[in-house]
Structure 1
């Protein structure tokens, strides 16, 4: 998953929580994200563009730090 913006992401379907780590090192958990949105991100050619269009400003989030991994 090469991206110039997103280093990695992981999804907990039970919690509907999407954890996103950006290339800057910042790490956030997005809440109540439907599985279809995550599947769209997995298949998107541009993860950063998809994130900005479908996730950013659409879901509540919590900043995480390294100890929350």
Structure 2
């Protein structure tokens, strides 16, 4: 999956596959996580958020999306 670099104190890049609804987040510590069944509207809001990290924590990590580290 191709990811876009983002300006964040914790996140290096973010990618999304609308066909499978998989969100992929690469953190600055080089860990990569995939979050599953994430609607495109949530991805779009994440990319538009003033703070990607805050949005990720509040709406995706706490949103009970299944995830795995890859």
| Aligned mate of 1:12, from 1, 17, 24 | 17
**Equivalent residues in 2 for 1:3-42, closer than 5 Å:** 3-42=8-47
The equivalent residue for 1:67 is: none
Aligned CA RMSD, in angstroms, stands at 0.7
Q: Given the two structures, how large is their TM-score scaled by the length of structure 1? A: 0.88
TM-score (norm 2): 0.87
CA distance, structure 2, for counterparts of residue 26 and residue 59 of structure 1: 18
Structure 2 regions of 5+ residues with no counterpart? Answer: 1-5
- Count of residues in correspondence between the two structures: 64
Runs (4+) off by over 3 Å: none
Gaps of 5+ in 1: 65-69
